[in-house]
Structure 1
């Protein structure tokens, strides 16, 4: 029996059981489960917001290229000016002034050069945006792999329940035959008791599997945002394990798409930009400025008068931070060390990616081989059970031999189903590690 037929049979038995209870049910494919998990995931939403924030930071940096413009205005009251002609302790005379003063104006400053800091800030923000995008994609891949693992666990539980249900039916049929032999005096009462005991254990296993289904269902419901008691029918992955290419192919894909590798790469890039920003502290600053205003009274030139006047000033100004020549020395050294640290961390990340890809690749290949071995084991166990059954009812074998043979058949069927599910799981893990899930 192949995995597809096992799965369909499992769904049939599951559907028959759950429909009888009248509970709310949902049948979904793995792609649909991925979509629902992505929509419900708060981690993905947090990373998506972080990406949007980084995009706004880029737009904000662009606007800094525009001139700074401001307007101002004031209305003031001034007192007379006391004149102490005979000393501070004598009564002063009052010098009359214009008491009401008004002023309204505008000013601007256009940065022409600031040690290339604005361009470096733009480059930094773009790198941070790329970093946020990578982390967002990484969270999507992680939630997809987690969803796939839970989905496959539920699928495996359905298959196990189908296998144990079919086995219980066979054992009940066999028990009737043994009881008939006992009534005819062919077998002992102990044989009947042994079979009944073994059948009881199988029914207990079925209870455990039913609980596994409920537990796996709740876990999957939580990640999908569904009610805990919603009954899920996994429709089976749309694609099974892919073809097993060479390790070098997977490694090349990982170095192109791996999330940890590219996160480390962007962090190294940020350290490079930071070093340039620190070096930019020892550079001149130049800009264009302007100031224009209306004022009343006219006290800019003597003689003063109570009339409105206007004045506009524009020009260039430049400055150089001389103290940065010695204040910046250790900042540059620290930035260089930070860059060297990130470069080493990037190399370490590359080593880890190679190791993870190698391990996931070998485990996936191992899972594929295990399927073939399990298929052979099932065939051998079934043939062995057929022979033992024949010899038992011909009184050439013991009941323990018959029960052991039946258990081996069930065990190998479980192992085959587990191997096929494990191969799918390892395939999705390999995709997640290489960054293409």
Structure 2
């Protein structure tokens, strides 16, 4: 028993060593900090920015392609095998220096709408990234809510345990008085002391849970680890205003998973159009101008610097695409079918998730009502057993059992109330809020 007192004292001293500032905070305020400080959300913010830059880069591909190149080379003599390879060649002297400076430009006019399809794909990818970011933020908010409610539960348990320990100490004092008067035996006194020691150890565990929950919450919302967040929300759960069918209908229109699956299907359809563009000709305007030395392009040749420019319309057709693209197109069509099945599968999964969250919420409400009744019954039972024990009409075991049942009933009631809130937030997350 002495060791338990020492452990309790050490835990209390540890939890109070260098205590951080206390900060009252509602769940809404914690969610606001998620948007600003959570590292996972910041990561997705950067992904959205990257996607935006890629989208802008794709749009700029409509601009003309402009290039400049320069080349210098040393040229060997020109051997001419006039009598065949088995005869010694005749070496003809040439100008050994070659130089070229060239600028060219190309403006794409038509390529099977490949550029437009690519831009549309980047737009959908950007929208997909934004939706994934919203889903990630919503998931983080749900995890923050779970930790916040867990912290609230532990703090409530701490207060209930302290209240129960206060009652146990009063009861122990009365039992000691009865023992001194020879009314009860020593085993009753030892059982009462053991019960109080167990409660002290329970308090140590609860306070450790409080510290761990606070650290986890602080890290998720960007607060210093030492900050002692105190939940400021009430235990009352928000009330659902619709029925199951209404929430399913709402989820079909705005659930994150379905929006993401829809965007992925759009991307697969655009990918098919991109593949089919490989069958189309490429048409564009071109222009180039070059300075070169020597002039060996047109006869008569000359050992002098010359300039030459040209401009016109360029048309090309990839004949090999007729057989290279066949299986790519078939694979793209199969990918569309796969995405359609995946979207339907996600719809079924969302319906199931909505049903589970809704049923668990209704179940939690019923558990609150049952826990309220159980708490009243446990309080009355403890009052009766306590009176009968001190009138020598009941055993101490019955009294301690009644005390444990009362504390557990209060724990269950607090847990049920907070669980109702968590199931409510889970339902909102499932339907895309």
Q: Once structures 1 and 2 are overlaid, which stretch shifts more, 126-135 or 397-406? A: 397-406
Q: Once structures 1 and 2 are overlaid, which stretch shifts more, 195-204 or 116-125? A: 195-204
**Which residue of 23, 42, 64 maps to 2:19?**
23
Flag structure 1 segments of 5+ consecutive residues without an equivalent. 1-15
**Aligned equivalents of 2:400, 2:296: Cα separation in 1:** 114
| Distance of aligned partners of 1:203 and 1:187 in 2 relative to their CA distance in 1, 3 Å threshold | same
The structural deviation recorded for 1:71 is: 2.1
Q: Do the aligned residues in 2 keep the contact of 1:31 with 1:238 (CA within 8 Å)?
A: no
Match of 1:233 in 2: 229
Correspondence 1:120-269 to 2 at 5 A: 120-224=117-221, 230=226, 232-237=228-233, 241-244=237-240, 245-269=242-266
Q: Once structures 1 and 2 are overlaid, which stretch shifts more, 58-67 or 38-47? A: 38-47
- What are the Cα deviations for residues 121-143 of structure 1, in whole angstroms up to 9, with x where unaligned? 11111121122112222221222
Q: Once structures 1 and 2 are overlaid, which stretch shifts more, 158-167 or 75-84? A: 75-84
The structural deviation recorded for 1:299 is: 4.8
**Aligned equivalents of 1:188, 1:423: Cα separation in 2:** 46
Q: Report the 3-state secondary structure (helix = DSSP H, G, I; strand = E; otherwise coil) of the residue aligned with 2:206.
A: helix
Q: Do the aligned residues in 1 keep the contact of 2:214 with 2:229 (CA within 8 Å)?
A: no
The structural deviation recorded for 1:316 is: 1.2
| 2:322 counterpart of 1:325 | yes
Q: Report the 3-state secondary structure (helix = DSSP H, G, I; strand = E; otherwise coil) of the residue aligned with 1:65.
A: coil
| Distance of aligned partners of 1:336 and 1:310 in 2 relative to their CA distance in 1, 3 Å threshold | same
Q: Do the aligned residues in 2 keep the contact of 1:295 with 1:309 (CA within 8 Å)?
A: yes
Q: Report the 3-state secondary structure (helix = DSSP H, G, I; strand = E; otherwise coil) of the residue aligned with 1:23.
A: coil
Q: Once structures 1 and 2 are overlaid, which stretch shifts more, 391-400 or 403-412? A: 391-400
| Distance of aligned partners of 1:414 and 1:90 in 2 relative to their CA distance in 1, 3 Å threshold | closer
| Distance of aligned partners of 1:104 and 1:409 in 2 relative to their CA distance in 1, 3 Å threshold | same
| Distance of aligned partners of 1:239 and 1:284 in 2 relative to their CA distance in 1, 3 Å threshold | farther
Q: Do the aligned residues in 2 keep the contact of 1:84 with 1:93 (CA within 8 Å)?
A: no
The structural deviation recorded for 1:198 is: 2.2
Q: Do the aligned residues in 2 keep the contact of 1:240 with 1:424 (CA within 8 Å)?
A: yes
**Aligned equivalents of 1:177, 1:106: Cα separation in 2:** 103
| 2:354 counterpart of 1:357 | yes
Match of 1:370 in 2: 367
Match of 1:12 in 2: none
**Aligned equivalents of 1:241, 1:340: Cα separation in 2:** 43
| Distance of aligned partners of 1:387 and 1:322 in 2 relative to their CA distance in 1, 3 Å threshold | same
| 2:290 counterpart of 1:289 | no
**Aligned equivalents of 2:164, 2:339: Cα separation in 1:** 59
Q: Do the aligned residues in 2 keep the contact of 1:275 with 1:335 (CA within 8 Å)?
A: yes
**RMSD (Å), alpha carbons:** 3.1
* Length, aligned pairs only: 419
Q: Once structures 1 and 2 are overlaid, which stretch shifts more, 307-316 or 109-118? A: 307-316
The structural deviation recorded for 1:231 is: 5.0
**Aligned equivalents of 1:170, 1:266: Cα separation in 2:** 61
Q: Report the 3-state secondary structure (helix = DSSP H, G, I; strand = E; otherwise coil) of the residue aligned with 1:321.
A: coil
**Aligned equivalents of 2:88, 2:376: Cα separation in 1:** 124
Match of 1:398 in 2: 395
The structural deviation recorded for 1:190 is: 3.9
- What are the Cα deviations for residues 46-98 of structure 1, in whole angstroms up to 9, with x where unaligned? 33222222111111111111111112334556677678999997896866x66
The structural deviation recorded for 1:421 is: 1.5
Q: Report the 3-state secondary structure (helix = DSSP H, G, I; strand = E; otherwise coil) of the residue aligned with 1:422.
A: helix
Match of 1:414 in 2: 411
| 2:367 counterpart of 1:340 | no
**Aligned equivalents of 1:135, 1:405: Cα separation in 2:** 52
Q: Do the aligned residues in 1 keep the contact of 2:15 with 2:211 (CA within 8 Å)?
A: no
Match of 1:60 in 2: 57
**Aligned equivalents of 1:401, 1:393: Cα separation in 2:** 12
- What are the Cα deviations for residues 376-412 of structure 1, in whole angstroms up to 9, with x where unaligned? 2212221222233333333333333322222222111
**Aligned equivalents of 2:342, 2:69: Cα separation in 1:** 52
The structural deviation recorded for 1:303 is: 4.1
Match of 2:67 in 1: 70
**Aligned equivalents of 2:83, 2:160: Cα separation in 1:** 118
Runs of 4+ deviating beyond 6 Å: 16-19, 79-91
Q: Once structures 1 and 2 are overlaid, which stretch shifts more, 69-78 or 123-132? A: 69-78
| Distance of aligned partners of 1:17 and 1:74 in 2 relative to their CA distance in 1, 3 Å threshold | closer
Q: Do the aligned residues in 2 keep the contact of 1:38 with 1:143 (CA within 8 Å)?
A: no
**Aligned equivalents of 1:407, 1:246: Cα separation in 2:** 38
Flag structure 2 segments of 5+ consecutive residues without an equivalent. 1-11
